Amino acid sequence: MSGLGETSPETSQKAGRPARNLDAARLVGHLETMWRIRAFEEAAIRGLKDGLVLGAIHPSIGQEAVATGVCLNLDRADLLLSTHRGHGHTLAKGADAGAMMRELFGRDGGTCGGKGGSMHIADFSVGMLGANGVVGANIPIAVGAAHAIRLRGGSEIVACLFGDGAINRGPFLEGLNWAKVFDLPVLFVCEDNTWSATTRTADLTAGAGAAARAESLGIPAETLDGNDALALDEAARAAVAALRAGSGPRLLHVKTYRLTGHTAADAAPYRDPAEVEAWREKDPIARLAAALADAGIPAERLEAARAGAYAEMEAIYDEARAAPWPPVAGAYADVQDVGHPAQRAF
């Protein structure tokens, strides 16, 4: 199956690319992953209400196309640095959903042994080097990871996702400058969900935003509809190919919307309900499903993607709830080797 780009020719034109050659199996894969992210986060929100998820979680409901569009174009060996809103990125990079849910519940067997929680999920086995609780702090880390790849002669690339709020922090400028100066293989992705915590980012951002700032440093940048999985997949694929060919860093500015509050506990009364409703109409999962239906993918297959995701997350929810707390000795583990806290009791 090919020629799905015909379902949204305006996006293709906007990107200025030739006709697409996207196959159905690939796009159904995107749909399945988007549903898994949606179902995972809905389960996590339920877990919060049930008192099972501890601390804050920051859902990415409505932003799933960004995670799949970028991460499904990466190889497992490629590296990923994510944000405090990183469940979707992490799942799309291939992390184990069950271990992630156990981490959210603070249980033994979580991705970080119950020591990190939602904001510090990491799975180095799939190249996911960490969500980060500090906005923009992942950007210098990403360029350093790329620097290390260069030093050891590796061929992997690094993807660094950050929010629109991050572009007003120094590490954004410092990290992009560094990546360009050293010509490192970093795909910067500004996942612009419109809001910086509870404040509209546009009210706090001078100038034309992420792409313009990248271009001012000589980094090729592209602004995209972040709710169009087809457009994102194609743009990310092209960017990744360019990076692998040695293009140096690139930036994608993807405009999307956070359908929940800043945290799952934030009812977001500061937003205009009409704005939320308008974005709900542009739900990226529904859009991709409609495109696939138009292209002739059977309804049962689309429904199986949805149902399979919810069944999986239901099961991991129950598993996580049944998992034990981590052993308390873990609080003293992995602090440091030299001067380890357990060397001598105080």
Partner 1 sequence: MAASTTTTYIAASTRALAEEMARDPRVWALGEDLGRGGVFGQYEGLQERFGAARIADTPISEACIMGAAVGAALAGTRPVVEMRFSDFALCATDELVNQAAKARFMFGGQAKVPLVARQPVGMWRSSAAQHSQSLEAWYAHVPGLVVVAPATPADNLGLLKSAIRADDPVVYLEHKGLWPLEGAVPDGEHLTPIGVADVAREGRDLTLVTWSAMRWRCLEAARALAADGVEAEVIDLRTLWPWDRDRVLASVEKTGRLLVVHEAVTVGGFGAEIAAFVAEHLHARLEAPVRRLGAPRIPIAYAPPLENAARVTPDAIASAARAMTAPAAADAS
Give the separation between CA 225 and CA 233, rounded to whole angstroms: 11
Indicate if the alpha-carbon torsion angle 244, 249, 255, 256 is positive or negative: positive
Give the footprint of partner 1 on residues 323-342 (CB under 8 A): 333-339, 341
Q: Is 150 in the site for partner 1 (CB under 8 A)?
A: yes
Beta bridge partners of 251: 188, 221
Residue closer to partner 1, measured from CB, 172 or 195: 172
Q: Is 151 in the site for partner 1 (CB under 8 A)?
A: yes
- Of 105-113, 275-283, 295-303, 311-319, which part binds partner 1 (CB under 8 A)? 105-113
Q: Is 115 in the site for partner 1 (CB under 8 A)?
A: yes
Q: Is 54 in the site for partner 1 (CB under 8 A)?
A: no
Residue closer to partner 1, measured from CB, 78 or 233: 78
Q: Is 15 in the site for partner 1 (CB under 8 A)?
A: no
Least distance in angstroms from the C-beta of 23 to partner 1: 33
Give the separation between CA 143 and CA 106, rounded to whole angstroms: 30
Contact 223, 253 (CB under 8 A): yes
Structure tokens at 194: 């419109």
From residue 206, give the alpha-carbon distance in Å to each of 135, 167, 202, 210, 225. 18, 10, 8, 10, 21
- Tokens 């949606």 belong to 38
- Of 90-98, 141-149, 270-278, 279-287, which part binds partner 1 (CB under 8 A)? 141-149
Structure tokens at 307: 């149902």
- Which residues touch 206 (CB under 8 Å, ≥6 apart)? none
Binders of partner 1: how many residues, by CB under 8 A? 51
Structure tokens at 215: 């271009």
Residues in the site for partner 1, rule: CB under 8 A? 79, 81, 110-116, 120, 122-125, 129-130, 132-134, 137, 139-152, 170-171, 174-175, 177-178, 181, 333-339, 341, 343-344
